[in-house]
Amino acid sequence: MHATYVRVLVVAAGIALGITAYNVQIDSLGANTTSVRAAASVVAAWASLAAGVVIWSRRPGNWLGPLMVATCFALLARQLRYSRDALAFTVFFALGELGYALIAHSALAYPSGRVRERSERRFLAVTYATVIAFPLAILLVHDEGVRLRYFDSYPRASLLLISPQDGLAGFLQDSYTVLAYGALAALLIVLVARRLRRATPRARWVLTPVLVGVVVAALWALYNSVVAFSTGPPGFVAHYTFWWQIAGLIALPVALFFGLIRSRLAHADVGDLVLRLEKTPPGGIRDALAEAVHDPTLEVVFWLPERSEYVDADGRSVELPRDGHDRAVTRLDHDDEPLAALVHDPTLRYEPELIDAAAAAARLALENARLQAEVQAQLAKVKESRARIVAAGDEQRRRIERDLHDGAQQRLVALALELKSAERRLEGGADPDVERLLSSAAEEVQVAVEELRQLAGGIHPGILTQGGLVVALAALASKAPLPVSVDAELHRLEPELEATAYFVAAEGLTNVAKHAHASSASLRACVDKGKLVIEVADDGVGGAAPNGGTGLRGLADRVEAQGGQLRIESPSGGGTRIIGEIPCES
Amino acid sequence: MRVVIAEDSALLREGLARILAEGGFDVLAQCVNAEELRDAVRRRKPDVAVVDVRMPPTHTDEGARAAREIRDEYPEVGVLLLSQVVEAAHAFALFSERPEGFGYLLKDRVLEIDDFLEAVGRVGRGGTAIDPEVIAQLLGRPREDDPLADLTPREREVLGLMAEGLSNRGICGRLFLSPKTVEAHVKNIFMKLGLMPAPDDHRRVLAVLAFLRS
């Protein structure tokens, strides 16, 4: 309640001061103004008051409200300095230029209410110092009898006069015009342009109207500083300059007002959002939200309770950025449980109604999308573990095969060799029974070696390990009961990839032999666009069902486990093509 | 004849060295991996290297790769590869450009000691030794139009032995046939397959294999 009283008092004071300013202008400027012009300058000040008070009440923590209110009073003070009363003249002349500094301050503080950039802070410090120091200095040396710029011929007495110095007063006025209206206004335009250039897309969208207002005002000041030293513009130009100034003074508060309070207007967009989300697939929520709050950088992340972390729409875990200067985070809860979070442009922080309304509208859709992200996350995990299981199985088979070949088989061959050597040494010189025993033992071992090789080959094709995929495919083709052409040009690949492609070819050829009634078949293997492609084709009867037989299903599982795809094209009477595609590195 | 051995299994390495030494070969070095093999070949320049296809560290095809390098760098050194598995496709992949001074045998063949020693000697002299299993695969391979269809079973047998790298005399010994009969078979085979008869062992093999590969 206290704040409301303060605001009512401020508004009352502003109105009263505005009326006074109007009277002062009419009374003391006489022919140099009209009632319309006097009224316009007061209304321009009131525009700042209105915008400031509304922003102040809606965004109590934001300094922009008070800044705008102060701007109003400073602009009115600028008019009150025309008073013939010496005290009023002295006080308001000293404060009269403060309005321009406050306008620059408001523009640079928008939308957060604070000025963070060091260069901008310095600029404001210099500006405030300039607009206070120069009028004060002029008051010290201003001779009542000499005409002040813009004051026409009416004499004004300074209560702060120390000694009249006409030359110095004139010099101070010229310097001030060049410095404040020229250099500082130009610098403000530069700062504003720099801000726009560095801004995020959303910040640019938010800033543009405000900065256009500032530039209009700053250009006016710049123009004024030039005109001040010429013989004076023709009357009609001076006329337009006045309205230019008024336009600049009104444009800024209007822009600020709409910039900060726009969320009210944006409710229309949010209403659309509700309707749109009904028809939007879960993947489109982000786009719809981004559009409703005008932030193309908006990201939506979902909370997964069982993993206690945030994930994106595809279920990949993501780290929430720190809610800070670069990105802002709005968390959405559901029954005190986190549901999702919106990661967005920091400028949205100054329009909480907008982001809240949008989030409320999207809540149901977000809940659905969260479930979907959860499923995606689980799916990704299952996929990973499936690939790991296949890889582990392969690795185990390879290791067993290797152990058999390089361990047991080698030892048996060595053993047989020793038996044979022994047999040769004895040759004729020993008990024939011993020779026979040795010879049959060696033969037994040889049979064991052969059996072991068959066993190892059944566990994992040794030719694949030894010769690679191209050789193994050629070997498969040469053992098939029908002519098989091979078209394969590959380097050695990951063992799992080679094994999968080999099994696709082997199973495919087995099926060709069993079911296709084909006269010939072909094998093709190549790496194309990051995929290993393996194809088995025949000219047989076709009509193979993709799910017929566990062999093909098992193959598809294998291929899919490695992130690939197995396709079967088998038109009746048109032959059969089995195509496996597996992502690979090279 | 001077020979180096590359075989990672100690038992088998010793066994091989022993039968080769007993068979009259001069065993210059026994290597346990491809690195040692390359080194031994560079320093000792043997007539033939007997090499296991699979050796440490990966136990995939180190021996085959070392063999290819040796053959490129020292064409006069014969290489006999011992493989845990034999496949015609693998054989072709390993020696397709140049079968001279090359052998490819299943590991167990060392147990047929005499044949093995003969094969080592043949490769050392620049000849060829191809595993019978490879030849069987080639001959048994189904083809769209099979030119081997015209051959009699006996002629097929002789063709197989020729492809293994055996000379006419060697074939006589295997099949217990007279030199004259073998000569007649060989002539018939060359005629039926449209190959020109050639004087050297390995050139015969070259011709036969080039044909089989077609």
Looking at the complex, does the CB of residue B109 fall below 8 Å from at least one CB of chain A?
no
CB contact under 8 A, A520 and B113: no
Interface of B with A in 22-51 (CB under 8 A): 22
Q: Do A17 and A93 fall within a single domain?
A: yes
Q: How far is A397 from chain B (nearest CA, A)?
A: 14
Residue A275 maps to a domain: no
Residue A166 maps to a domain: yes
Q: Categorize the per-residue pLDDT at A266 as very low, low, confident or very high, splitting at 50, 70 and 90.
A: low
Q: Do B122 and B167 fall within a single domain?
A: no
Looking at the complex, does the CB of residue B144 fall below 8 Å from at least one CB of chain A?
yes
B185, B140 contact by CB (below 8 A): no
- pLDDT tens digits, A475-485: 888 888 888 88
Q: Do A76 and A213 fall within a single domain?
A: yes
Q: Do A30 and A175 fall within a single domain?
A: yes
Percent of chain A scored above 70 by pLDDT?
Answer: 92
Q: Do A349 and A297 fall within a single domain?
A: yes
Amino acid B13: pLDDT:
92
Residue ending a domain, among B75, B105, B131, is: B131
Contacts of A378 (CB under 8 A, 6+ apart): A315
Q: Using CA atoms, how far apart are residues A393 and B147, in angstroms rounded to an integer? A: 44
Residue B136 maps to a domain: no
Query: What is the Cα A530 distance to its own chain's centre?
Result: 28
In this structure, what DSSP letter does residue A422 have?
Answer: H
Cis peptide before A495, with omega less than 30 degrees from 0?
no
Closest to B164 (Cα-Cα) out of B123, B107, B114, B112: B123
Q: Do A298 and A180 fall within a single domain?
A: no
Q: Do B205 and B177 fall within a single domain?
A: yes
Q: Using CA atoms, how far apart are residues A292 and A344, in angstroms rounded to an integer? A: 12
Q: Using CA atoms, how far apart are residues A395 and A383, in angstroms rounded to an integer? A: 18
Residue B101 maps to a domain: yes
Residue ending a domain, among B93, B111, B131, is: B131
Q: Do B116 and B60 fall within a single domain?
A: yes
Q: Do B43 and B86 fall within a single domain?
A: yes
Q: Categorize the per-residue pLDDT at A348 as very low, low, confident or very high, splitting at 50, 70 and 90.
A: confident
More confident residue, A282 or B43: B43
A104, A127 contact by CB (below 8 A): yes
Q: Do B10 and B70 fall within a single domain?
A: yes
Residue A269 maps to a domain: no
CB contact under 8 A, A424 and B22: yes
Q: Is B5 exposed, middle or buried (0-12, 13-18, 19+ CB in 10 A)?
A: buried
Q: Categorize the per-residue pLDDT at A268 as very low, low, confident or very high, splitting at 50, 70 and 90.
A: low
Q: Categorize the per-residue pLDDT at B173 as very low, low, confident or very high, splitting at 50, 70 and 90.
A: confident
CATH no. for residue B31? 3.40.50.2300
Closest to A96 (Cα-Cα) out of A149, A167, A43: A149
For tokens 């999207």, the residue is A362
Amino acid A120: pLDDT:
92
CB contact under 8 A, A449 and B8: no
Residue A489 maps to a domain: yes
Residue ending a domain, among A459, A475, A503, is: A459
More confident residue, A533 or A371: A533
The mean pLDDT of chain B is 84
Strands A521-528 and A484-488: parallel
Residue B162 maps to a domain: yes
Q: How far is B199 from chain A (nearest CA, A)?
A: 30
CB contact under 8 A, B9 and A410: yes
Three-class SS of A217-274: HHHHHHHHHHHCCCCCCCHHHHHHHHHHHHHHHHHHHHHHHHHHHHHHHHHHHHHHHH
CATH no. for residue B178? 1.10.10.10
Structural domains of chain A, count: 4
Looking at the complex, does the CB of residue B8 fall below 8 Å from at least one CB of chain A?
yes
Q: Do B114 and B153 fall within a single domain?
A: no
Segments forming the whole domain that contains residue B82? 2-131
Q: What size, in residues, is chain B? A: 214
Structural domains of chain B, count: 2
Segments forming the whole domain that contains residue A550? 466-583
Q: Do B26 and B113 fall within a single domain?
A: yes
Contacts of A225 (CB under 8 A, 6+ apart): A177, A178, A180, A181, A182, A185
Q: Do A370 and A315 fall within a single domain?
A: yes
Residues of A with CB under 8 A from a CB of B: 402, 405-406, 409-411, 413-418, 420-421, 424, 442, 446, 449-450, 453, 456-457, 461-463, 465-468, 470-475, 477-483, 520
Residue A276 maps to a domain: no
Partner-chain residue, chosen from B11, B22, B92, that has the shortest CB–CB distance to A411: B11
Q: Do B6 and B59 fall within a single domain?
A: yes
Q: Using CA atoms, how far apart are residues A389 and A305, in angstroms rounded to an integer? A: 27
Residue B123 maps to a domain: yes
Phi (first) and psi of residue A499, to 5 degrees: -65, -45
CB contact under 8 A, B144 and A520: yes
Highest mean pLDDT among A154-163, A330-339, B7-16, B87-96: B7-16
Q: Do B124 and B177 fall within a single domain?
A: no
Chain B's closest residue to A455, CA to CA, is B85
Chain A's closest residue to B90, CA to CA, is A471
Chain A's closest residue to B84, CA to CA, is A405
pLDDT at A523 over 90: yes
Q: Do A166 and A196 fall within a single domain?
A: yes
Amino acid A308: pLDDT:
83
CB contact under 8 A, B89 and A467: yes
CB contact under 8 A, A483 and B9: no
- Residue B17, both tokens: 């060295």
Q: Using CA atoms, how far apart are residues A378 and A315, in angstroms rounded to an integer? A: 8
Helix (H, G, I), strand (E, B) or coil at B2: strand
Chain B's closest residue to A461, CA to CA, is B85
For tokens 């607009």, the residue is A131
Contacts of B92 (CB under 8 A, 6+ apart): A474, B209, B213
- Angle CA A411–A413–A416, to nearest 5: 110
Chain B's closest residue to A420, CA to CA, is B111
Q: Do B15 and B95 fall within a single domain?
A: yes
Q: Do A372 and A327 fall within a single domain?
A: yes
Q: Do B102 and B20 fall within a single domain?
A: yes
Strands B102-106 and B128-130: parallel
- pLDDT tens digits, A24-68: 888 877 666 788 888 888 999 999 999 899 888 888 888 888 999
Looking at the complex, does the CB of residue B82 fall below 8 Å from at least one CB of chain A?
no
Residue ending a domain, among A436, A459, A482, is: A459
Q: Do B15 and B96 fall within a single domain?
A: yes
In this structure, what DSSP letter does residue A586 have?
Answer: -
Other Cβ atoms less than 10 A from the Cβ of A283: the count is 11
Q: Do A130 and A197 fall within a single domain?
A: yes
Q: Do A150 and A195 fall within a single domain?
A: yes
pLDDT at B214 over 60: no
Q: Which of A350-359, A412-421, B175-184 has the lowest mean pLDDT?
A: A350-359
Other Cβ atoms less than 10 A from the Cβ of A517: the count is 13
Closest to A307 (Cα-Cα) out of A377, A387, A382: A377
Residue A212 maps to a domain: yes
In this structure, what DSSP letter does residue A283 have?
Answer: G
Q: Do A338 and A224 fall within a single domain?
A: no
Amino acid occupying residue B170: G
Contacts of A404 (CB under 8 A, 6+ apart): A452, A455, A456, A459
Amino acid occupying residue A212: V
Q: How far is B83 from chain A (nearest CA, A)?
A: 9
A194, A120 contact by CB (below 8 A): no
- Residue A122, both tokens: 């310095």
CATH no. for residue A543? 3.30.565.10
Interface of B with A in 111-140 (CB under 8 A): 111, 113, 137-138
- Tell me the CA end-to-end span of chain A in Å, nearest whole number: 71
Residues of chain B contacting residue A420, judged by C-beta atoms under 8 Å apart: 19, 111, 113
Q: Which of A13-17, A117-121, A265-269, A394-398 has the lowest mean pLDDT?
A: A265-269
Q: Do A70 and A115 fall within a single domain?
A: yes
- Residue A51, both tokens: 């915008």
- pLDDT tens digits, B20-63: 999 999 999 999 999 999 999 999 999 999 999 988 888 888 88
Partner-chain residue, chosen from B64, B89, B110, that has the shortest CB–CB distance to A478: B89
For tokens 């922003």, the residue is A55
Amino acid B80: pLDDT:
94
| Cα A333 to Cα A219, A311, A356, distances in angstroms | 48, 15, 12
- Tell me the CA end-to-end span of chain B in Å, nearest whole number: 35
- Residue B209, both tokens: 């294999």
Residue ending a domain, among A362, A388, A414, is: A388
Amino acid A264: pLDDT:
55
Residues A480-498 have a mean pLDDT of 87
Residue B137 maps to a domain: no
